[in-house]
Structure 1
Amino acid sequence: MPRISISALLLAALFAVNPVLAATQALDRIVAIVDEDVILESELAAAIDGVRRQYQGREIQLPPEDVLSKQVLERLTLLRLQIQRAEAGGIQVTDTEIDQAVARVAASNSLTIAQLRQAVETDGFNFSEFRKSMREELLVQKLRTRVVESRVEISESEIERLLAGDTLKRGEVHLRHIMVQLPDAATPEQVATGAEKIAGIRQLIEDGKMEFSAAAIRYSDSPQALEGGDLGWRRFDQIPAAFADLVAGMEKGAVTQPVRTASGFHLLQVADVRKDSHIMVTEYHVRHIVTRVDDLNTHEDARVKIFEAKRRIDAGESFENVARAVSEDKNTANLGGDLGWIPIDAYGPFYAQPLSQMSVGGITEPLRSDQSWHMLQLVEVREADRTEDFLRQQATESLRERKAEEVYEQFLRQVRGEAYVETRLDPNGNSAG
């Protein structure tokens, strides 16, 4: 059975509650107090074991034991804090939502639910604990949505400013990131040490002694460290200004020079590039006639009306005139049933399926739906350049996502700062007792 692919958040939660791994601990110590909750040594060990499993055969890419322990413990701490906030805010996840999430994981791995259960249990997990982990991930997703929706607003002027520039037309880049963090009000000595470290990391990569992703896992202080620094695909409008101009024009595999920001020193690698292209959409000019089923008209009444309309059209009357006289779609009847230019999926598969098989000028046979009867006429077909519409949609989504990331990162920093967190790891990453 192939290893299932799940999110990093779910992975952390899943390994943290693995009862098989937890049972192997001779003595369960507390490694962190998180407000009124605790993280046990068995949970940390299980989560670390999970990371090691993900890097099986590539263990050399992992950071030293003490660094890995601290990275994983911080991830578990943030997960625990988010779950606490979600539950305190009354956020709930239903069994149906969990069922749907489990089904999505199964589908994304090309498995049935039964095969997913087998894969989970083969990896040493209890399926009920897997569902519990899914619940926790959904809680965090809902918390993020609540926080973001209440604080993120996008104005039309912001969209217009973004469209006026060229960042949306540059395409996309797949980025990886390494950060050497600096403390607030860093001393000259701390800055010098950070600069020396980031330069050394870059040299290792340039000399071919370490891949960028391996260096990120071992040395980076960023939240994406354990994912090899992977930031995914980003449009240039989604990249901080300090980095956007640096990566513009860079080739696949290239690494930036170190960049200093308020948070520390950074390296970026362009893992891949996708050039921008025009968005061409096939559009259909369609007219329709609709007869409806309601309190006064049965399906048979509606059927008789639509077939009478068909008889008139077959006798030579124009579709447009018959639509004006017969159609019960109040929005289009006076327009001769004209729906204008629409993409094929504008009205779902009920219209898409016949349209895909029609020739220009063609008219369908009467089509029955649950509450109405329909006839379609395909007037014309064209290829339309919808690049500007696509860019506007991209601009809106990009602004929303950029603000959402900033808002949620600020929220997490606030939650982390307000929480009582006591870690009990010694400098070597072991439980302090």
Structure 2
Amino acid sequence: MKKLLACALAAALSATSVQAQQAPPSSQVQPIDGIVAIVDEDVVLRSELDRAMQNILSQYAGREAQLPPRDVLERQVIERLVLLKLQVARAESSGVRVTSQEVDQALANIAGQNGISIDQLSAQLARDGSTFDEFRTSIREELLVQKMRQRYAQTRVSVSDAEIDAAMEAQQAGGVQYRLAHILVALPEGATPEQIKTAQGKIDGIKSLLDRGEMDFAAAAVRYSDSPNALEGGDLGWRSSDEIPSAFVQMVSNMSPGQVSDPLRGPSGFQLLQMVESRNASQDASGQTVTQYKASHILVRVDEQTSDAEAKAKIDTLAARLAGGADFAELAGQESQDLNSKVRGGDLGWFNADAFGLEFGGQITRLGDDEVSQPFRTSTGWHIIKRTGSRQTDVNAQNKRNQIAETIGRRKLEDEWNRYLRELRGEAYVDIRVGPQAADNATGG
């Protein structure tokens, strides 16, 4: 059915394009964009590809020699646009929403960061060959994907105290950070022996080019890598040891700046890692203390499927059950819609008063230990919280734990998100309609 809808849409658009192009000049009919790819029930238009290509070429002005041949670059850019279409469609179908006010605020922030007004931003876009409406649409899509990624992180990624303790112990010796880059030769799920052999040959060939000095690492990444960050030269940014997959930590710590690893086999394919540079992480010794709280909560979300009144009615029912003697942890495990804490009976662990927003913080500070709040509203929905403890904590030590928890979470999210994108791409119907092998490019279910 997905293929039929996609093909029908493409046929309709193609027919409209032909009719528009055949119409007499006096009709003033503008021909519709050509289609460069079909993505499920959506399409990537030639104008979208041209704009994205122009952005890349502008970024590489004066360094065009680092870019691959135009047909290879077009294919890389099309793949980015395909992934964006798939993510936007999945976000919208999952109930993720971005309001006009959120888009307006993002645009105002962009203009402010560049020291210009919205009107000046619009004029700048016009000079660059784009329109304000196109830019607004792209910002909305970025916000949608960001929200979906945040939702994904909340439901799929968690960091345990044991992981943080282990990372802190490992960092006692040095606290070194590494700036890394990589080149990926991707493999599909369930790759055949022939596909593995081909990928192995490609990664070995790239390594040989680098060893012979025929190309620098960043240029090779742009030309050959299948990673989403290929056009950034494969740059992975600065990472501490807890942000690097454990299988690679020892290898990276023994590499010199500029050194490139031998080919490595990972879950997404073969890759080469370059250790660009390293540095010592700065240490903060403020010695200040702060009050922290330990609590559990029950959440009933307000969203597209559940109105505020419905959520309020449900949380009031749960409050009545607690007043009647129901066990808080058991009830949270059964009824809470915070999937991250639900599996722990609603336990949120230790946190600062402002960690979950002003409304939440105001409630937790007014409670005594072992007291349960009345239902209250936040931007997420309706909550009941039970405060289970409080303590004075060294700010520096807690900041360190928070930083480590964030870096571990970021690494986990990156791994999970990349796996999710591969699944999303693999399940989609995608038909690339440009390039020498366009006719053989239809993929997906």
TM-score scaled by structure 2? Answer: 0.62
Gaps of 5+ in 2: 1-29, 291-392
Q: Would you say 1:425 and 2:434 are equivalent positions?
A: yes
> Structure 1 residues 265, 415: CA separation in 2 closer, same or farther (over 3 Å shift)?
closer
Q: Would you say 1:410 and 2:419 are equivalent positions?
A: yes
Supply the distance in 2 between the matched residues of 1:388 and 1:252 (Cα, whole angstroms): 31
What aligned pairs does 1:175-324 form with structure 2 within 5 A after superposition?
175-184=180-189, 190-281=195-286, 283=288
1:172 partner SS? strand
Aligned-pair CA distance for 1:170: 3.1
Q: Would you say 1:162 and 2:167 are equivalent positions?
A: yes
Q: Would you say 1:397 and 2:432 are equivalent positions?
A: no
> Structure 1 residues 271, 110: CA separation in 2 closer, same or farther (over 3 Å shift)?
farther
What residue identity is the alignment partner of 1:423? I
Match of 2:344 in 1: none
> Structure 1 residues 214, 277: CA separation in 2 closer, same or farther (over 3 Å shift)?
same
Match of 2:155 in 1: 150
Which has the greater radius of gyration?
Answer: 1
Match of 1:103 in 2: 108
1:278 partner SS? coil
1:165 partner SS? helix
Q: Would you say 1:125 and 2:133 are equivalent positions?
A: no
What residue identity is the alignment partner of 1:397? E
Supply the distance in 1 between the matched residues of 2:431 and 2:248 (Cα, whole angstroms): 35
Q: Would you say 1:72 and 2:77 are equivalent positions?
A: yes
Contact 2:180 2:237 in 1 (8 A): yes
Q: Deviations over 1:337-368 (max 9, x none)?
A: xxxxxxxxxxxxxxxxxxxxxxxxxxxxxxxx
Equivalent residue in structure 1 for 2:87, among 77, 82, 86: 82
Equivalent residue in structure 2 for 1:136, among 130, 133, 141: 141
Supply the distance in 1 between the matched residues of 2:151 and 2:289 (Cα, whole angstroms): 39
Contact 2:432 2:438 in 1 (8 A): no
Q: Deviations over 1:129-165 (max 9, x none)?
A: 2112111111111111112212222222222233232
Q: Would you say 1:36 and 2:41 are equivalent positions?
A: yes
Q: Would you say 1:94 and 2:99 are equivalent positions?
A: yes
Contact 1:41 1:431 in 2 (8 A): no
What residue identity is the alignment partner of 1:55? Y
Supply the distance in 2 between the matched residues of 1:429 and 1:65 (Cα, whole angstroms): 15
Q: Deviations over 1:95-138 (max 9, x none)?
A: 22112212322343344444433322221111122112111111
> Structure 1 residues 144, 202: CA separation in 2 closer, same or farther (over 3 Å shift)?
same
1:250 partner SS? coil
Match of 1:328 in 2: none
Supply the distance in 1 between the matched residues of 2:70 and 2:272 (Cα, whole angstroms): 24
Aligned-pair CA distance for 1:214: 0.9
Supply the distance in 1 between the matched residues of 2:160 and 2:273 (Cα, whole angstroms): 31
> Structure 1 residues 263, 61: CA separation in 2 closer, same or farther (over 3 Å shift)?
same
Supply the distance in 2 between the matched residues of 1:184 and 1:230 (Cα, whole angstroms): 25
Aligned-pair CA distance for 1:207: 4.0
Supply the distance in 1 between the matched residues of 2:440 and 2:45 (Cα, whole angstroms): 10
What residue identity is the alignment partner of 1:422? D
What residue identity is the alignment partner of 1:425? V
Supply the distance in 2 between the matched residues of 1:238 and 1:275 (Cα, whole angstroms): 15
Gaps of 5+ in 1: 1-24, 286-383
Aligned-pair CA distance for 1:393: 1.3
1:63 partner SS? coil
What residue identity is the alignment partner of 2:409? R
Contact 2:184 2:271 in 1 (8 A): yes
> Structure 1 residues 267, 42: CA separation in 2 closer, same or farther (over 3 Å shift)?
same
Aligned-pair CA distance for 1:223: 1.6
Aligned-pair CA distance for 1:410: 2.9
> Structure 1 residues 430, 69: CA separation in 2 closer, same or farther (over 3 Å shift)?
farther
**CA RMSD for the aligned pairs?**
3.2
Aligned sequence identity (%): 48
What residue identity is the alignment partner of 1:44? L
Contact 2:286 2:396 in 1 (8 A): no
> Structure 1 residues 275, 111: CA separation in 2 closer, same or farther (over 3 Å shift)?
farther
Supply the distance in 1 between the matched residues of 2:173 and 2:91 (Cα, whole angstroms): 35
Supply the distance in 1 between the matched residues of 2:436 and 2:173 (Cα, whole angstroms): 46
> Structure 1 residues 85, 168: CA separation in 2 closer, same or farther (over 3 Å shift)?
farther
Of the structure 1 ranges 55-64 and 155-164, higher mean CA displacement relative to structure 2 is found in 155-164
Supply the distance in 1 between the matched residues of 2:403 and 2:54 (Cα, whole angstroms): 40
Supply the distance in 2 between the matched residues of 1:54 and 1:167 (Cα, whole angstroms): 40
1:266 partner SS? strand
TM-score scaled by structure 1? Answer: 0.64
What residue identity is the alignment partner of 1:419? A
Supply the distance in 1 between the matched residues of 2:194 and 2:144 (Cα, whole angstroms): 42
Contact 2:288 2:396 in 1 (8 A): no
1:177 partner SS? strand
Runs of 4+, deviation exceeding 4 Å: 183-193, 282-285, 384-387, 428-432
Contact 2:219 2:233 in 1 (8 A): yes
Contact 1:35 1:420 in 2 (8 A): yes
What residue identity is the alignment partner of 1:140? V
Q: Deviations over 1:59-107 (max 9, x none)?
A: 2111123322221111111101111112222222222211221232234
Aligned-pair CA distance for 1:231: 0.9
2:154 partner SS? helix
Contact 1:86 1:139 in 2 (8 A): yes
1:280 partner SS? coil
Equivalent residue in structure 1 for 2:67, among 49, 58, 62: 62
Aligned-pair CA distance for 1:386: 6.0
Contact 2:289 2:394 in 1 (8 A): no
Contact 1:258 1:266 in 2 (8 A): yes
